[in-house]
Structure 1
């Protein structure tokens, strides 16, 4: 791969760029059909960019349902017919008679799955309902999780493997809040979103723990726009829902939505 492609991506993304470029090359020159693990939207963008550089390669993304955030991809020569290719995703249904189950959140289920030694790449979107949780899992990993998962946080659970047709989608719940900021700088909005002083907000940003739209962001002065998704390791994730007009004091009113942890 030409080294100039690295100039288009963050240095922290170089490892993934190498992996994705290798898969594209296998499809282009080895006439292979390759399947990725689950990709976040930024990784999907990188893969799409690399595929578009090869006129004889195509890819199809599928996360198990139309609105999926995390998706697997099938990469193949342009003459291959991909619609019949199995994307390799199944549903792990998690239920419990334990009263503690109702208080569990997205992070509890993800933590329990990763605690089994499973890589994040094998886990897709997680749908937490009132009495059940449905997790999209790579087919090659689901039997292991089905057999091994018996507890989430302090609640004892039962699991069942279901086909995609039985997936129960739950839209993410956002806790909305509004406040005013002097500008749309990342550090200012992050500070108010997580109730940090600007000085304390700088520390995780400059340490590489912040991502904007899944891309590492080290610049505190980066200006955000409506629709941007910001995550900060150890603090959570929010979406900038709306940027309103100026107040009488010349400040900008914004509305964010925090994702449940």
Structure 2
């Protein structure tokens, strides 16, 4: 059965598929809920696919706010309806000298990871143009808050916030449809950012491209539905929808693009 599941996904995703299969089995055997760490959109897609239409289980997702990119999944028996508190998502805000300093998503994420806490414990990092907030696993909130005093050379203070204090993040994503000859990373980057395949390849091999927040060094790696590419200096790309192939055997894709 598991081999039939594997064939629908990438080889690199098998360990995650195995983990999800274990979570599902645990819920079915013990009839108790299971809460995951924060998942990226591709992982959410996989877990939704594996749970599918299982009548005995329900899947709920929450990342702190309605349009969250990274979410925690709550797998539970059909009778169980989780409350917001069951997702154990805490909200923190970064206080810094706004008039004299400039923060970025990458600098904040790098600082958070430097505390020794893995990426899976952090949700989205959001900004309204001035204020910065991030979501974190409740169990790590106090530790991380006490570890961080600076982001780069900027002195900061991290404070816990309630959900009524959530800012409205700026959403500059553009949505475009287009065709590409393949789903290779270098092809996608070249097409969206209007640069040569060779330039795209150089960016990848120089470690300037991340796939779902992890460094990827293979230009020929083929991406799939809901994958997110981050290209330093250019922006981000998400595969929002794969609409099929054209008569000329090209992929027809709907992209989400966040230009830097």
What is the TM-score with the length of structure 1 in the denominator? 0.75
CA distance in 2, matches of 1:89, 1:6: 31
Shift of 1:20: 1.1
CA distance in 2, matches of 1:255, 1:75: 29
SS in 2 for 1:38: strand
Partner of 2:169: 170
Residue 62 of structure 1 contacts residue 87 of structure 1 at CA under 8 Å; is this kept in 2?
yes
Moved over 4 A (4+): 192-196, 209-212, 216-224, 227-230, 232-236
What is the TM-score with the length of structure 2 in the denominator? 0.75
C-alpha spacing 1:240/1:164, structure 2 compared with 1 (3 Å): same
C-alpha spacing 1:218/1:108, structure 2 compared with 1 (3 Å): closer
User: Which runs of structure 2 are paired with 1:178-257 in the superposition (5 Å)?
Assistant: 184-185=180-181, 187-191=186-190, 193=192, 196-202=195-201, 204=204, 211=211, 230-232=228-230, 236-238=235-237, 257=257
CA distance in 2, matches of 1:22, 1:8: 18
Shift of 1:6: 0.8
CA distance in 1, matches of 2:37, 2:20: 11
Partner of 1:14: 14
Residue 231 of structure 1 contacts residue 237 of structure 1 at CA under 8 Å; is this kept in 2?
yes
Whether 1:126 aligns to 2:122 is no
Shift of 1:258: 3.3
Residue 98 of structure 1 contacts residue 156 of structure 1 at CA under 8 Å; is this kept in 2?
no
Whether 1:114 aligns to 2:113 is yes
Whether 1:143 aligns to 2:142 is yes
Residue 113 of structure 2 contacts residue 119 of structure 2 at CA under 8 Å; is this kept in 1?
yes
CA distance in 2, matches of 1:22, 1:49: 15
Shift of 1:191: 2.3
CA distance in 1, matches of 2:74, 2:192: 37
Which sections of structure 1, spanning at least 5 residues, go unmatched?
242-253
Answer with 63-72 or 74-83: which moved more: 74-83
Q: Report the structure number with the largest CA radius of gyration.
A: 1
Answer with 123-132 or 230-239: which moved more: 230-239
